[in-house]
């Protein structure tokens, strides 16, 4: 699967989860999903391939980074931001895993 396909799936899946958990301004949430994942996905991919092949540490780092971004962008408290980020990234990691074994 190509990088753009992975990026697109990540943006869409995470947008849907963010929207389901926030239920406000869908176009703005889609924009945030595009921006956040355009920053974190390349860094996570590079890190996994070249630095540390531990998917768990990479995903935890992404969850933390994205939760901070969500907290500031959505103006929400950190516990809600980390919950949203954890659910969204767990979902995309599971989809990625399922697609890799098909």
CB neighbours (10 Å) of residue 85?
25
Q: What is the pTM of this model?
A: 0.94
Mean pLDDT per 10-residue section of the chain, whose length is 102 residues: 94 98 96 98 95 94 98 98 98 94 89
The number of folded domains in the chain is 1
**Residue 69: domain span:** 3-101
Annotate 44-90 with three-state secondary structure. HHHHHHHHCCCHHHHHHHHHHHHHHHHHHHHCCCHHHHHHHHHHHHH
How many Å apart are CA 78 and CA 80, to the nearest integer?
5
């Amino acid at each position: 699967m190509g990088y753009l396909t992975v990026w697109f799936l990540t943006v869409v899946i995470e947008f849907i989860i963010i929207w389901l958990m926030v239920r406000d301004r869908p176009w703005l949430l889609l924009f945030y999903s595009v921006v956040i994942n355009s920053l974190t996905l390349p860094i996570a991919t590079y890190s996994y391939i070249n630095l540390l092949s531990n998917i768990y540490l990479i995903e935890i780092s992404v969850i933390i980074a994205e939760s901070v971004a969500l907290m500031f962008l959505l103006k929400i408290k950190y516990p809600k931001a980390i919950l949203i980020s954890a659910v969204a990234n767990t979902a995309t990691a599971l989809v990625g895993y399922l697609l890799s074994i098909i």
